[in-house]
Chains A and B, each alone.
Chain A
C-alpha cells in the first residue's frame, strides 16, 4: 500500500507483536525531498489510512528518510 502511494519508495514493515496489528514501517522515498518530517509522516499515514479505518492496524510506528 505504501509502495503504491509512493512509487519508488523502499518500504520495510516489521510486525512488532506477532499479531499483525502493531506494525513498524521504515520508508525511504524520493517524494520526501523538501518535506518536513511531519509531512513525511502524514504521507505514510495517508497511504495506510484505509487499514486504520477498517481496524486491521491498531498502531503503526513510522520512520522516514529521504531517498538520496
Chain B
C-alpha cells in the first residue's frame, strides 16, 4: 500500500508537468544508464521537461507508481498525464516518430545518431 500523501504529491506533479520524467539521478548527472538514455532522447528533441530524482525515496515511489500506472521501474516518462514507458519504449517511440508526435515537436534530423549514447553507460561490462 503506497503512502497516500506521497501518491497525492506524485499525481499533482504528473498533472502539473506536461512532460515529466521520473529518473535515477538528475538530467545533469544521471545515476543509471536507462535514465541517461531517456534524458538523451529528450535533450535531443529540444523539449522542456520536469525531472524527479527517485533515488531519495526509491521504494515508496515504486509503490506509488505501481498503483498509479502499474509500472514499478524507473525511468518513467509521462506525457500529458499518461505513462509513455521506460527507456526501451521511449527509444522505440522516438525512432518511429511517435514520441515527437505525442510531444508536439518536430522530429529532429538524424534521429538515429541523436539516440546513440555520447559515452558508454557507466559500469557496463561487455559480456560478449
Chain B, range 87-128, C-beta contacts under 8 Å to A: 87-89, 92, 124-128
Give every chain A residue within 8 A of B92 (Cβ-Cβ).
Answer: 37, 63
Q: Does A3 contact B (CB under 8 A)?
A: no
What is the minimal beta-carbon distance from A10 to any residue of chain B, in angstroms? 18
Q: Does A33 contact B (CB under 8 A)?
A: no
Give every chain B residue within 8 A of A62 (Cβ-Cβ).
Answer: 88
Give every chain A residue within 8 A of B49 (Cβ-Cβ).
Answer: none
Give every chain B residue within 8 A of A4 (Cβ-Cβ).
Answer: none
* Chain A contact surface mostly: mixed
Contact of A61 with B88 at beta-carbon distance under 8 Å, contacts A17-B125, A17-B127 already known: yes
In the complex, how many residues of chain A place their beta carbon closer than 8 angstroms to a beta carbon of chain B? 16
Q: Does B83 contact A (CB under 8 A)?
A: yes
What is the minimal beta-carbon distance from A61 to any residue of chain B, in angstroms? 5
Out of A18, A38, A59, which one reaches B85, CB within 8 Å? A38
| B124 contacts A16, C-beta separation under 8 Å | yes
What is the minimal beta-carbon distance from B104 to any residue of chain A, in angstroms? 20
| A45 contacts B83, C-beta separation under 8 Å | no
What is the minimal beta-carbon distance from B6 to any residue of chain A, in angstroms? 20
Q: What residue in chain A is nearest B98 (Cβ atoms)?
A: A37
Give every chain A residue within 8 A of B83 (Cβ-Cβ).
Answer: 38
What is the minimal beta-carbon distance from B79 to any residue of chain A, in angstroms? 12
Interface residues of A (CB under 8 A from B): 15-19, 22, 37-38, 41-42, 45, 52, 59, 61-63
In order of increasing CB-CB distance, the 3 nearest A-B pairs are A18-B127, A17-B127, A17-B125
